Structure 1
């Protein structure tokens, strides 16, 4: 039994393809199913089953499209009110996949209908695909279905973790979907692999009493991206296979028309390249960072979107990232040199700096220091006299930023670059601090 991990680091998630040399099954496949199809061809195996652990809140699934394309059975919890034909599966059901056996285990907590899948094969170490239930040193967050359900789901999450620990051998390998940077993780995870035995030693769900676990879990919950609200409805309706055909090419005049019409024209270059020269009114979400997470978080849903990239490959990568969160339509794209994108040839720019520069400038003139980190980060420590507006709230709170030159920072520089581009597009004089917050002291 070979288990192939399919990483999606930009969303902090993993999918899995498992085969016995002849037949395969997939667990929680992402929207861009060509990655799974390529692996099937490479291994020379046939996909017979696709399993969903839950109706995902952080990405659009590729499960339905993959099952339809390959003829595989698509297993979704029988209690999920989906709008498509599926092969219903419930707690205790066992599915034979070639020489492998897959048993469904009800593990509510991340959602009410969450399932985990324990897989075994002769001579192979047992494995359990835990989705958003038991993670490495943590568990999935229980608040994505609304605050009225959070406490009930937190208690259920504790019970589900205990069930897995009691019913599965200690050497069972744990294969979660979330927990690698995903906002679906309730608290930070630890390690890159684990077993039931290890989790019994380190996971709070298995080492502390239920009430202490629930209290700590709820207290540690932080904000999550706004686009999550659109993911579950899309997954319940049944997402189609994405179209990754590149959008039409736009010239400088068209880009200017789109910007003036209030559309979003997003520059994919690094934050330092953007600061050095960019088209007025464009916004910077570099493909080198949490591109899809932050663009999906800030972009008003349904706003027309155009991408600017140095290469066709850069635009294609961004498009792939976007279809994973349900942004299927791009109005246009442009590639090449930044001067080719500027109608009239004029570019805007702003300075980048480090915290040492900020320390020096504050001795000479007053500046506004804007901290765009999340509330939990601010509470851990912040600069005196800084204005705190988390990045995801910035568009709605621009008028709260005092007049004057704005020096904006985050933890490492990526979010500061986004914020600086938003401020620059709004006509503010801005300096982006491209530095690690550890240097702030």
Structure 2
């Protein structure tokens, strides 16, 4: 009997898998922090015989090379991927035995990348699961624009063909197990549901329900900005990532925190946006540990800029470190745990700013304030507050001088990104109010909403 264990990378919106039988297993698209995979194998009491990559990832740093080294597993990487390390190149149609009755077959599925490869797990010759990486996702496909702009349309057409190849070759009951699509920006849309099969995708996935020209036009029209850190992930994976160090960083005292801020380094407060608004070190930025810290911090920080982490507990700090190594931010320059009183020098007081709601915004004299919308373009297209200024959150750090004078009421769709934006503006010396509310409440509050 076979098993498939899912390893969630919730912050990145991705999944890795461990699949196998009684004695051996294969790890698919493993994360950088490979202890999660090793623990899963230990619970199952199996040896990891193979490690496979569906593609050279653009959204996180793989742990595949290190996992194969530590376990002695065969490391399968698509033959078309240009890498700088020893691996077993896998081509369309290649098969390997995983356990007594389990085989894994490589299926070329270009589209997300030119070399993308899916892997079909069969038990006693019957396909039971397809590890589809960034090819066929739940209700959508992986985006085709991460490699080279001139290739985007060609890869979009390849995505359509690859989806049909999988759908035509596999039984309807075959489980579809993608890497992307659970919040990942590598997905061209977000997953509708938590699990799927080939049969379900035949009725729900636009790659399988519309003609190729319609599919390509809709896919390309829906693509949004690519997180800036993606530019560094592919090269890191092709070069062969180094092992990670998750030991605690050096402890920063108040003088060092102040010195790092004065030097222009980033000091990031991991506490909740509520706690941050109530009191924080002036000049620090708020990226909640419970939010998409890896995505937004890696997207917004100048690459290579030293970062000092402030956390309320050692556990919160350790979890953030784990998230950040997955996107190549390997070692914080320093860190400290506690609360603002522990991070401020004797002559300093915590900074703060108010939080509010759309109902309270509706009561304001709209002529005397600035409403800043930091949602993505696609979100704003569905409706925006009349007179609001729009700067997507990932662009705000370089565009704060474009925010008009006045008290800034900043909002997003739910509050988390507004908290980040408010911290950036507060650090820049602006008077700011963080609207910690769902955008549906703007309409309910009677604010004038312009529909696109």
Q: TM-score, normalised by structure 2?
A: 0.96
CA-to-aligned-CA distance 1:20-72 (integer Å, 9 cap, x gap): 01011100001010001111111111111001000000000000000000000
CA-to-aligned-CA distance 1:212-255 (integer Å, 9 cap, x gap): 11111101111121101100000000012211011010100110
Q: Find out whether 1:351 has 2:354 as its counterpart.
A: yes
Residues of 1 paired with 2:247 and 2:361: CA distance?
45
Q: Match for residue 15 of structure 2?
A: 14
Residues of 2 paired with 1:269 and 1:389: CA distance?
24
Residues of 2 paired with 1:188 and 1:268: CA distance?
26
Q: Match for residue 42 of structure 1?
A: 43
How many residues are aligned here? 440
CA-to-aligned-CA distance 1:122-153 (integer Å, 9 cap, x gap): 39761100000000111110001122111000
Q: Match for residue 437 of structure 2?
A: 435
Residues of 2 paired with 1:30 and 1:410: CA distance?
30
Q: Tell me which of 298, 301, 304 is aligned to 1:299.
A: 301
Q: Match for residue 174 of structure 1?
A: 176
Q: Match for residue 58 of structure 2?
A: 57
Moved more, 335-344 or 270-279: 335-344
Once the two structures are TM-superposed, the CA of residue 340 in structure 1 deviates from its matched residue by 1.1
Structure 1: state its 5+ residue gaps.
none
Residues of 2 paired with 1:142 and 1:123: CA distance?
32
Q: Find out whether 1:361 has 2:395 as its counterpart.
A: no
Structure 2 counterparts to residues 33-432 of structure 1, below 5 A: 33-99=34-100, 100-122=102-124, 126-343=128-345, 344-362=347-365, 366-432=368-434
Residues of 2 paired with 1:255 and 1:438: CA distance?
39
Check the 8 A contact 1:339/1:345 in 2, yes or no.
no
CA-to-aligned-CA distance 1:142-180 (integer Å, 9 cap, x gap): 001122111000000000001001111111110000000
Residues of 1 paired with 2:189 and 2:267: CA distance?
34
Once the two structures are TM-superposed, the CA of residue 337 in structure 1 deviates from its matched residue by 2.1
Check the 8 A contact 2:14/2:179 in 1, yes or no.
yes
Residues of 2 paired with 1:345 and 1:22: CA distance?
60
CA-to-aligned-CA distance 1:386-405 (integer Å, 9 cap, x gap): 00011111122111111111
Once the two structures are TM-superposed, the CA of residue 348 in structure 1 deviates from its matched residue by 0.5
Residues of 2 paired with 1:64 and 1:439: CA distance?
48
Task: Show structure 1 runs of 4+ deviating over 2 A.
Answer: 122-125
Once the two structures are TM-superposed, the CA of residue 345 in structure 1 deviates from its matched residue by 3.7
Q: Match for residue 447 of structure 2?
A: none
Moved more, 365-374 or 318-327: 365-374
Q: TM-score, normalised by structure 1?
A: 0.98
Residues of 1 paired with 2:381 and 2:40: CA distance?
45
CA-to-aligned-CA distance 1:280-320 (integer Å, 9 cap, x gap): 11100010111111000100000011000010111111000
Residues of 2 paired with 1:408 and 1:245: CA distance?
36
Structure 2: state its 5+ residue gaps.
444-452
CA-to-aligned-CA distance 1:175-218 (integer Å, 9 cap, x gap): 00000010111122211111111111111111111101111110
